[in-house]
Amino acid sequence: MKNAFKLFAVTFGLLITSQAFAGPKALVYNGVGACHDDCAKASYDSAKAAGFDPVYVGDNDTDPRIFDGATVWLQPGGYASTAMQNMAPALKENIKNFVKNGGGYVGFCAGAFVTTNYVGTTNVKGLGIMPGSTKLYGKGVRILKTKWQGSQRYIYWEGGPYFRNMPSTVEQTASYPNGANGAVRSTFGKGRIWVTGLHPESPKWWKDESGYDDVDGDDRDIVANMLHWVTEAH
């Protein structure tokens, strides 16, 4: 009986400890439109590395209680139009309401495309939480020499957008080699949004397969900065 009690006490203590040290809840889209090459996992792993407690959400997860206790929504790379055409309308509305009421939003590549009224130059409707518009920066896969918040950074890029027609309320946080907006941040209602056409969340194997060298290595510190900015008290 004593051993059984000790086992219970240890197990209960571990549960309490794990709950006490759980990071802020981050929701990561893992439905249709997220690329099959670990796009959702890259966002998940980056959020976890930044001290968050990530939870996957599918394209038909429409229960608004999913957002209870969440601090940020991460929209990964992939196929923006496909994601918007397959994501349940109720989920899209829940995301908008979540940000409007103070939640954070971080998007990479396709996750940036979907934030404006329309996805890029298509007629597919986006979430409409970021003003202005997006357009494909180019084609192919590269590691680009960018300027990220004033510092030179080499970051993986694959078919991401640049940002156009942005009002003065939108802050440019990164620029592509030609000077175009590579990342921007703004607000929507009480919430904060930070999106980029680049892939700072990219795992090493993406870079290895690209055939280009990332001379300054892992960029997940950028993701951590994005996540903390959109979720800090304001």
Rounded Cα distance between 195 and 174, Å, is 10
- Domain count for the chain: 1
**Mean pLDDT value across residues 75-79:** 98
The answer to whether residue 6 scores a pLDDT higher than 90 is no
**Boundaries of domain holding 218:** 24-231
CATH of the domain at 142: 3.40.50.880
Of the candidates 62, 58, 56, 60, the one whose C-alpha atom is nearest the C-alpha of residue 25 is 56
Average model confidence (pLDDT) for the chain? Answer: 92
Percentage of the chain modeled with pLDDT above 90 = 89
Residues 161-196: pLDDT tens digits?
A: 999 999 999 999 999 999 999 999 999 999 999 999
Neighbours of 46 (CB within 10 A): 30
Look at residue 22 in the predicted model and tell me its pLDDT.
77
Q: Is residue 16 part of a domain?
A: no
Residue 174 burial by CB count (10 A; 0-12/13-18/19+): exposed, middle or buried? buried
The answer to whether residue 12 scores a pLDDT higher than 50 is no
The answer to whether residue 18 scores a pLDDT higher than 60 is no
Residues 209-225: pLDDT tens digits?
A: 999 989 999 999 999 99
Burial pattern 187-215, b for ≥16 Cβ within 10 A else e, equals bbeebbbbbbbbbbbbbeebbeebeeebe
Look at residue 193 in the predicted model and tell me its pLDDT.
98
Q: Is residue 154 part of a domain?
A: yes
Q: Is residue 179 part of a domain?
A: yes
Of the candidates 97, 115, 117, the one whose C-alpha atom is nearest the C-alpha of residue 106 is 115
**Mean pLDDT value across residues 68-96:** 98
Q: Is residue 5 part of a domain?
A: no
**Mean pLDDT value across residues 127-156:** 97
Q: Is residue 11 part of a domain?
A: no
Q: Is residue 207 part of a domain?
A: yes
Question: What sign has the CA pseudo-torsion 229, 64, 199, 125?
Answer: negative
Tell me if residue 198 falls in helix, strand or coil: coil
Residues 102-129: pLDDT tens digits?
A: 999 999 999 999 999 999 999 999 999 9
Look at residue 21 in the predicted model and tell me its pLDDT.
56
Q: Is residue 66 part of a domain?
A: yes
End-to-end CA distance of the chain: 52
Q: Is residue 2 part of a domain?
A: no
